[in-house]
Amino acid sequence: MEKNNITLDRQTTFDQTTFADIPVPPNGLLERSARIKRIQTTAMILLFFAAVINYLDRSSLSVANLTIRHDLGLSATEIGALLSVFSLAYGFAQLPCGPLLDRKGPRIMLGLGMFFWSLFQAMSGMVHTFTQFILVRIGMGIGEAPMNPCGVKVINDWFNIKARGKPMGVFNAASTIGVAISPPILAAMMLLMGWRLMFITIGILGVFLAIGWYMLYRNRENVELTTVEQAYLNAGSINARRDPLSFAEWRSLFRNRTMWGMMLGFSGINYTAWLYLAWLPGYLQTAYNLDLKSTGMMAAIPFLFGAAGMLINGFVTDWLVRRGMAPIRSRKICIITGMLCSAAFTFLVPQATTSMSAVLLIGMALFCIHFAGTSCWGLIHVAVASRMTASVGSIQNFASFLCASFAPIVTGFIVDTTHSFRLALIICGCVTALGALAYVILVRQPISDPRKD
């Protein structure tokens, strides 16, 4: 190491003229200032509510599945197509989303994204044909694209690398809490006001939250930080540079072995998550003849399991790192274990003989898959340079949603053809197991910064 550098953590160095006078604790983690704590709290509260609203929106079509099919005369395959076209639009929108996020920051990207997805959500209550519904779902998918990459970037920007597990768990858990509370809330709204007004109401809520985000959140680049605050945020990071990637650097990510492992592996996560998100209410109604009210209560249980998996993952990964395990290794162990266990529980779901046993098996599958998925996003924090987090996150999400987009329509086709979910669930378990294998084989090294200077 050159003499003009000091080491705050074994993974990075900082210029001595900037940080040499700052006392560094043995663990390399500096104290947070009161201002940093306040920024972290504000950001996490806003992200939590944004994620809840986001997944209320995503769940609305699944909960209203049978009612909309009856009112608009749609088949299960057409409902699957509506769910899949959202995933495709969302996935493709990830590609420009990452570079734009690195340049414009989460404040404007999430604010605009939330405003537009909420607008299209409200418009969903005004459609009368399958074609109109397709167009609205495409708009919704594009609008929601910045959500997860923005969450990853906000946590990367405002939390030290050794303290990102818990906020990542809270952020991810918020999305599953949104899914968990959606069935009873949306079912009650449908019984009270009908599915059209339900769509419009939650769309309006999202518009107000988008305005609140833009007014209250500030990008890290727009906050004048002290030297101590910068040292706390940067300590231990793979690379503390803040300049965005050029197009050539962004394109080079697609030649990286680890990037492909994350793309293929996370596809196994999202296929499972999206299948249950899209079809769980319909599965319970079809396989066990539950009415709308009972479905709303029963469908909430598995997603509460999923939220617990996300929260517990944050504590487990931070504990493993404090015990001396390398951050990348800690995430990989959680990812692979969670995915294989989730696949095993999904294989058992068709064997269930009662609605409650099916709900508990699905709950364990979601606990495990979301436990793994939280570490997938956490892996970006510990294996990717700061200037690349949004781009890597969006590319990972792009690939996973291309794969996940097949889950709703394949399931709908299988249900129309076989009048059973058995084959769809077996396919789901296989995809998840193959995703775990991708992490084992391909994810071995951090994604290095393409700019070496």
- Cα distance between residue 358 and residue 284, in whole Å: 9
| 6 pLDDT more than 50 | no
Examine residue 140 and state whether it is found in any structural domain, yes or no: yes
Examine residue 200 and state whether it is found in any structural domain, yes or no: yes
Examine residue 132 and state whether it is found in any structural domain, yes or no: yes
| Helix (H), strand (E), coil (C) string for 69-129 | HHHHCCCHHHHHHHHHHHHHHHHHHHHHHHHHHHHHCHHHHHHHHHHHHHHHHHHHHHCCC
- Residue percentage of the chain with pLDDT more than 70: 90
Examine residue 9 and state whether it is found in any structural domain, yes or no: no
Say which residue, 453 or 54, is predicted with more confidence: 54
- Cα distance between residue 441 and residue 258, in whole Å: 9
| 320 pLDDT more than 50 | yes
- Give, as one character, the DSSP assignment of residue 22: S
Say which residue, 183 or 428, is predicted with more confidence: 428
| 241 pLDDT more than 60 | no
Examine residue 5 and state whether it is found in any structural domain, yes or no: no
Look at residues 152, 189, 148 and name the one whose alpha carbon lies nearest to residue 59.
Answer: 189
22-56 pLDDT, tens per residue? 444 544 455 677 888 888 899 899 998 898 888 88
Buried b (16+ CB within 10 A) or exposed e, 321-345: beeeeebbebbbbbbbebbbbbbbb
Examine residue 137 and state whether it is found in any structural domain, yes or no: yes
Which domain, by its residues, includes 358? 34-442
Residue 444's pLDDT band (boundaries 50, 70, 90)?
Answer: confident
pTM, entire model:
0.69
140-166 pLDDT, tens per residue? 999 988 888 888 888 888 888 777 778
| 438 pLDDT more than 80 | yes
Token digits of residue 214: 């833009």
Which region among 88-102, 186-200, 229-243, 410-424 has the lowest average model confidence (pLDDT)? 229-243
Number of domains in the chain: 1
415-437 pLDDT, tens per residue? 888 888 899 999 999 999 999 99
Examine residue 26 and state whether it is found in any structural domain, yes or no: no
Examine residue 16 and state whether it is found in any structural domain, yes or no: no
Residue 243's pLDDT is 67
- Cα distance between residue 334 and residue 58, in whole Å: 27
Q: What is the CATH number of the domain that holds 303?
A: 1.20.1250.20
Q: What is the pLDDT averaged over residues 185-200?
A: 87
In which region does residue 109 sit, left (phi positive, over 0), alpha (psi from -120 to 50) or beta (all else)? Answer: alpha
